[in-house]
Structure 1
Amino acid sequence: MRRLVYEHLVQAAEIDTQYADDKAVHDQKQQALQAEFAAQLKTVLTEAQYTRYTNLAINLLADSSTHKQP
């Protein structure tokens, strides 16, 4: 699990660096990475753990969208 999270963070940082000047591609790559990470988590976590993870992710996204400044 630690290795999976570490690899995810390294890949996310690489995307941040490589696509810093192209927000559209950056966002697309990050979304693909997140989908891949979620699929990998689903194979490692129990169903209850995965459900809690997805609920947490949904709540974090909702919170971040309400706190964005214009």
Structure 2
Amino acid sequence: MLEETTIIKSKAIFSDDKEHRLLLRKEWNNEKPSAMVIMINPNTADTVNFDMTTMLVINNLHKLG
């Protein structure tokens, strides 16, 4: 049996009125290269909740290594 445990560190920065998310950072392996993804229309993701777009980006980055 093989067991894996992963911890995703999350950081979000919002405008003062919390209407706009300015930054969403996810880190799960600091031994691999970093990637920056700039999106035009960010959705509802925050430090705990993933939206579909964020989940797809993270899945693809993980596949790319």
TM-score > 0.5 by shorter chain: no
Q: Pick the TM interval, shorter chain.
A: 0.3 to 0.5
Choose between structure 1 and 2: higher strand proportion. 2
